[in-house]
Amino acid sequence: MRLTRLIVERFGSVRKARVEFGRGLNVLYGPNDLGKSTLAQAIRAALLLPPGSSAYESFVEWGTDETPKVELVFQVEPGGRYWRIRKEFGSGAAAQAILHGSADDQTWTQEAKGRKVDGEVRKLLSWGIPEPGGRGGTRGLPESFLTSVLLAPQTDPAAIFNSSIDEDADESGKKLLTHALQALAQDPLLKLALDEAQRRIDEAYTAHGVKKRGRTSPFKVAADAIASAIKEHEQRLEDLNQTQAVETAIEKLNEERLFAEEAREEAVRDLRELEAAFKQQAERRGLAEKLGEARQALAVIEQAREEVRVGAADESRLVQELERAEARVSAAEKSAAAVEERLGQARDELRRLSSGDAARERELARKTLETELLQLQAERTAAADLTRRARAVGDLEQEAEAAKKKIAAATTRSSALRASAEKLQERKEQAEHLREQLAGLALYELWQRARTEARESREAQGEARKLRAQIAELRRGEQEAGTGRRPLPAPEELKALRSLNQQAIEAEARLGGGLSATVRVKRPLNIKVSLDGGPAKLHSGVKLRRSFEAESSMVLDLGGVAEIELSAGEADAREKVEKLRARWERQGVPALKAAGVRSFAKLEDACREAEEARRESAETERRIEELERRVAGLDGLASQAAEVAARVKNREQALAPYDRDALEVLAARLGPDRDADVELLRRDAGLQATQADAERDVAARELAGLEAELKSLTDGLAGIESRRLAAVGELGDAAWEPAASRMTELDGRQAQLTRQLEALGSGQDDAVERAGRVVQGAEAELTTAGAAVKAAVEAKETALRALSAARGELRVRRERAEALDLEGARLAVTRLEAELQATESSDPEVSDEDLDDARERLDLANRTADDRRDQIQKLWGALEQVGGEVAHERERMAAEAVTRAREREAELDLDYGAWRLLHETLREVESEESVHLGRALVQPISERFARLTGGRYGSIDFEPSLKTKGIQAGGDTRNVDALSCGLRDQLATLFRLSVAEHLESLLVLDDQLAQTDPRRVEWFGQVLRDCAERIQIVLLTCRPREFLTEDEIALPGTTVRDSASGMLRAVDLEQVVDRAPLDSR
Partner 1 sequence: MKEPEDDEVALKLLHTADWHLGRKFGDFDEADALKLTRARLDVIRRVLDLGRQHAVDAVLCAGDLFDQEVPDSLWWEGLVRCLADRPSPHCPVILLPGNHDPLVRTSVYYEGHPFRRALPADVHVVDRDDFSLPIGDEAVVYATPCRSRAGASDPAMSLPERAPGDDRIRIGLAHGQTFDMKKCTVDFPIDPAATKKRGLDYLAIGDTHSFREIAIDGAGPTVYPGAPEATTFDEPDAGHVALVFFARKGRRALVRRQRVAQWTWRQETVRDPTALRTLADTQDLKQTVLRLTVEMSVSLEEMSEVERILLELKGTEAALGRAGIMQCKRDGLRLDMTGVDSSFVDVPDVLRATVARLKQREAAGEGELARRALYHLYRVVQGGASRT
Residues that bind partner 1 (CB under 8 A): 187, 189-190, 192-193, 196-197, 200, 229, 232, 243, 247, 876, 879-888, 893-894, 896-897, 899-901, 903, 907, 910-911, 913-915, 917-918, 921-922, 924-926, 928-929
Residue (253 or 392) nearer to partner 1, CB? 253
Q: How far apart are CA 423 and CA 417, in angstroms?
A: 10
Cβ distance 233 to 892 under 8 Å? Answer: no
Smallest separation, CB 246 to partner 1 (Å) = 9
Instruction: Specify the long-range contacts of residues 874-881, CB closer than 8 Å, at least 24 apart.
Output: 875/246, 875/249, 875/250, 875/253, 876/250, 878/242, 878/246, 879/243, 879/246, 879/247, 879/250
Smallest separation, CB 919 to partner 1 (Å) = 9
Q: How far apart are CA 510 and CA 266, in angstroms?
A: 86
Cβ distance 1068 to 1050 under 8 Å? Answer: yes
Smallest separation, CB 898 to partner 1 (Å) = 8
Smallest separation, CB 225 to partner 1 (Å) = 8
> Which among 28, 96, 35 has a CA at the least distance from the CA of 1049?
28
Smallest separation, CB 940 to partner 1 (Å) = 20
Residue (196 or 643) nearer to partner 1, CB? 196
Amino acid occupying residue 445: E
Residue (221 or 698) nearer to partner 1, CB? 221
717-753 as b/e, with b when 16 or more CB fall inside 10 Å?
Answer: beebbebbeebeeebeebebeebbbbbbbbbbbbbbb
Residue (310 or 878) nearer to partner 1, CB? 878
490-525 as b/e, with b when 16 or more CB fall inside 10 Å?
Answer: eeeebebbbebbebbeebbeebbebbbbebebeeeb
Residue (240 or 634) nearer to partner 1, CB? 240
Q: How far apart are CA 678 and CA 667, in angstroms?
A: 9
Contacts of residue 138, Cβ cutoff 8 Å, sequence gap at least 6: none
Residue (831 or 902) nearer to partner 1, CB? 902
Smallest separation, CB 446 to partner 1 (Å) = 52
Residue (137 or 913) nearer to partner 1, CB? 913
CA count, 13 A, side-chain hemisphere, 402: 9
Q: How far apart are CA 346 and CA 769, in angstroms?
A: 11
R_g of the chain, CA atoms, integer Å: 78
DSSP type of residue 596: T
Smallest separation, CB 247 to partner 1 (Å) = 7
Smallest separation, CB 866 to partner 1 (Å) = 17
The helix (H) or strand (E) run that includes residue 611 is: helix 600-639
CA count, 13 A, side-chain hemisphere, 539: 19
Cβ distance 959 to 164 under 8 Å? Answer: yes
Smallest separation, CB 185 to partner 1 (Å) = 10
Residue (547 or 927) nearer to partner 1, CB? 927
Q: What does the H/E/C string look like for 1026-1071?
A: HHCCCCCEEEEECCHHHCCCCCCCCCCCCCEEECCCCCEEEEEHHH
Contacts of residue 253, Cβ cutoff 8 Å, sequence gap at least 6: 868, 871, 872, 875
Residue (195 or 730) nearer to partner 1, CB? 195
Residue (99 or 894) nearer to partner 1, CB? 894
Smallest separation, CB 174 to partner 1 (Å) = 21
Residue (825 or 908) nearer to partner 1, CB? 908
Q: How far apart are CA 970 and CA 1060, in angstroms?
A: 44
Smallest separation, CB 148 to partner 1 (Å) = 31
Residue (305 or 916) nearer to partner 1, CB? 916
Q: How far apart are CA 819 and CA 922, in angstroms?
A: 133
Residue (197 or 948) nearer to partner 1, CB? 197
Helix (H, G, I), strand (E, B) or coil at 650: helix
Smallest separation, CB 912 to partner 1 (Å) = 10
Smallest separation, CB 945 to partner 1 (Å) = 27
Residue (125 or 879) nearer to partner 1, CB? 879
Cβ distance 938 to 956 under 8 Å? Answer: yes
Widest distance between CA atoms in the chain: 258
Sheet holding 1003-1006, edge to edge: 1003-1006, 1033-1037, 25-29, 1064-1068, 1056-1058
Give the phi and the psi of residue 1061 in degrees, each rounded to 5: -75, -15
Residue (159 or 918) nearer to partner 1, CB? 918
- State how far the alpha carbon of 872 is from the alpha carbons of 243, 251, 700, 876, in Å: 14, 9, 67, 6
Q: Can you count the helices (H) and strands (E) in the chain?
A: 24, 21
Residue (398 or 899) nearer to partner 1, CB? 899
CA count, 13 A, side-chain hemisphere, 149: 30
- State how far the alpha carbon of 626 is from the alpha carbons of 471, 553, 618, in Å: 10, 58, 12
Q: How far apart are the first and last CA of the chain?
A: 33
Smallest separation, CB 251 to partner 1 (Å) = 10
- CA angle, 774 then 337 then 779, to 5°: 30
Residue (81 or 191) nearer to partner 1, CB? 191
The string of DSSP letters for 352-372 reads HHTSSTHHHHHHHHHHHHHHH
Residue (374 or 893) nearer to partner 1, CB? 893
Smallest separation, CB 243 to partner 1 (Å) = 8
